[in-house]
Amino acid sequence: MITNNGLNDLKDIMTYLDKVPYCVTRQALYSPGELYQGYDPEAGPKSYGACFDGKVYQYYLYTGKQPTSVEESLARRLHDHCIHVALHQFVKSVGERRCVGVMGGHALLRPDGMYRNVARLSKRLTELGFVMLSGGGPGAMEAVHLGAWMAGRPDRQLDDAMAMLMGVEAFDDPRWLQSAFEVMNKYPQDRYISLGIPTWLYGHEPSTPFATHIAKFFDNSLREDNILTLAFGGLIYTPGSAGTMQEIFQEAVQNHYLSFGFASPMIFLGKSFWTRDIPVYPLLEQLLDTGRYKNLLLTLTDDLDTIVHCLDDFYKAQANP
């Protein structure tokens, strides 16, 4: 039985949910146009604060990264639940075995050779019919979606797009977002898609607008879990730091236990990095050889062709068992 006090509490909660600057009952993922509604590239960095994403991030900071009010906590949970449902509907619609994830550092600079390799690799895989996904932020993540955005075009146009970005090396440059929109305006497209899964927890790192579909969460743990579990077609690891290390072993556990009925490829791009700088690959091999880990499909390479063939062969084998 609901008392009068209970009814008043429910009424207060509903009033609060109506006033938050984001929709708690979304039925679809965000598009770049929605996320950056109100942003004017020609007006420069200051206009970010007036766009939807900027307003939500400021409200997120104002109400606390860990909200103290029941109302705000409930609002975020409802929002993230709806994004979670829309995300799984999206993956189902494109074919989950076609989803390939790329993990790597947010600090990767645009002029870095690895940035160029990731963009080229993503372009090729997108043209083969794969749907590329990442954490949806800057660095290696941006390179994933730039490559997907430029799919179907000559490589020289991808080179031109990257040249346009080179003058703004990192996401902490106020012109980072503006430069991305300049590329999108020069090379518009509506044929190829990619999926970014960012979070307002790292709202100081802008979400890349090159991702055509954006599942932005408040809860970073839910976001991380979705990135790893939805890349049924395989995961490519580029050089990263602590976050990437966490993602490697989280994925290894899922493959070890065959949490989804099968194991997916774990591909490490950068032989020197993964064997010398951070020697995680020899460790995984040892764990696999000794039986402590099972079902790991490991590849270590510097060659983009090897990655393309590995993922394409895996997809074909799964589609025709």
pLDDT for the residue 5? 56
Rounded to whole angstroms, how far apart are CA atoms 237 and 126?
A: 17
CB contact at 8 A, 143 and 118: yes
| Residue 157 included in any domain | yes
| Residue 121 included in any domain | yes
Q: Count structural domains, the chain.
A: 1
pLDDT in tens, 10-37: 788 899 999 999 999 999 999 999 999 9
CATH number for the domain spanning 169: value is 3.40.50.450
C-beta neighbour count of 3 within 10 angstroms: 8
Instruction: Give the confidence band of 46 by pLDDT, cuts at 50, 70, 90.
Output: confident
Our CA angle for 91, 297, 129, nearest 5°, is: 35
Q: Tell whether the model's pLDDT for residue 7 goes beyond 50.
A: no
| Residue 193 included in any domain | yes
Pairing of strands 99-103, 297-301: unpaired
Structure-token match 């590849």, residue found: 299
| Residue 273 included in any domain | no
| Residue 254 token pair | 């899922």
| Residue 162 included in any domain | yes
pLDDT for the residue 10? 79
CB contact at 8 A, 234 and 314: yes
| Residue 250 included in any domain | no
Instruction: Give the confidence band of 2 by pLDDT, cuts at 50, 70, 90.
Output: very low
| Residue 156 token pair | 């020289």
Instruction: Give the confidence band of 8 by pLDDT, cuts at 50, 70, 90.
Output: low
Q: What is the mean pLDDT of residues 118-137?
A: 98
The residue range of the domain holding 137 is: 97-233
Q: What is the mean pLDDT of the chain?
A: 95
The CA distances from residue 247 to 153, 183, 274, 318, in Å, are 32, 30, 14, 24
pLDDT in tens, 238-252: 999 998 999 999 999
Q: Is the dihedral of CA 43, 35, 77, 200 positive or negative?
A: negative
pLDDT in tens, 196-233: 999 999 999 999 999 999 999 999 999 999 999 999 99
C-beta neighbour count of 10 within 10 angstroms: 11
pLDDT for the residue 12? 86
The CA distances from residue 35 to 20, 51, 120, 175, 315, in Å, are 15, 8, 26, 18, 32
| Residue 298 included in any domain | no
Our CA angle for 314, 251, 92, nearest 5°, is: 60
Rounded to whole angstroms, how far apart are CA atoms 268 and 238?
A: 6
| Residue 278 included in any domain | no
pLDDT for the residue 321? 67
